[in-house]
Amino acid sequence: MPLEIERKYLVRNDSWRTQGKGTRYRQGYLSTEPARTVRVRVAAGRGFITVKGLTVRVTRPEYEYPIPVEDANEMLDTLCLKPIIEKVRYTIEYAGLLWEVDEFEGENAGLVIAEVELARADQTILLPDWIGEEVTDDARYYNASLIANPFTSWGGKPSV
C-alpha cells in the first residue's frame, strides 16, 4: 500500500522565496470525509486523481493516478466541492529533503504552508530558518478542510 508520510508547518518569513520555482495548482475534492478524500488536481498542464485514507499521526494511504487534463478540468468545474483550491507550489531542497511551500490564492489568500514528505514517520529533519509552527495535527490546515472553512473566513492570521 502506498503511504504518504508528511509534516506541515506555517511559514515564518519570506526568505524561502529566492530558493524555489513555482507551479500553479487548481484542485478540488469529490469527497472530504475524514476517512477518505478524493481529490482532482491540475498542475503544469497535467491532470490527476488522488484517493487518500485516514491520517494516523503523520501517515496515511495515498493512491494517485494521471487522468486526461480535460477530464480533470471538467470535474473541477462541475463536480468538485466549492471553492476550488488555488495555489502556487514552490519546491525547495534543504538538508537532503524536498520541501513544498504552498502560497494559497482565492478564498485562502494569505495562507502559506510548507510540507515535507518523509521516508519514515520517525525521521529526523533539519528545519529551514523560514519554518514556523508545526500544524501537522491541526485539521484546519488540510487542503480538504480549506473548502468548508476557507482561510479568509478565519478572521485573522495564523499564529507563527
Chosen CATH of 3-152 out of 3.40.1010.20, 1.10.15.40, 3.90.1150.10, 2.40.320.10: 2.40.320.10
Q: What is the pLDDT of residue 56?
A: 84
* Band (20; pLDDT cuts 50, 70, 90): low
Q: How far, in Å, are 69, 79, 112 from residue 141 at the CA level? A: 26, 23, 10
* Band (143; pLDDT cuts 50, 70, 90): very high
Q: What is the pLDDT of residue 34?
A: 84
Distance CA 24, CA 104 (A): 10
Is the backbone peptide bond immediately before 66 cis, with ω within 30 degrees of 0?
Answer: no
Q: Which residue has the cell 534543504?
A: 94
Confirm if 70 and 83 have CB atoms less than 8 A apart.
no
Q: What is the pLDDT of residue 25?
A: 98
Q: What is the pLDDT of residue 43?
A: 98
Q: Which residue has the cell 471538467?
A: 74
- pLDDT tens column, 50-79: 999 998 888 899 999 999 999 999 999 999
Q: List the domain boundaries for the chain.
A: 3-152
> Which pTM was predicted?
0.91
**Within 13 Å, how many C-alpha atoms sit on residue 86's CB side?**
10
Confirm if 37 and 29 have CB atoms less than 8 A apart.
yes
What is the pLDDT of the chain when averaged over all its residues? 93
Confirm if 103 and 90 have CB atoms less than 8 A apart.
yes
Q: What is the pLDDT of residue 55?
A: 85
Q: What is the pLDDT of residue 33?
A: 92
* Band (109; pLDDT cuts 50, 70, 90): very high
**Which carries the bigger pLDDT value, residue 55 or residue 144?**
144
Q: CB atoms < 10 A from the CB of 80, how many? A: 22
The catalytic residues are: 29
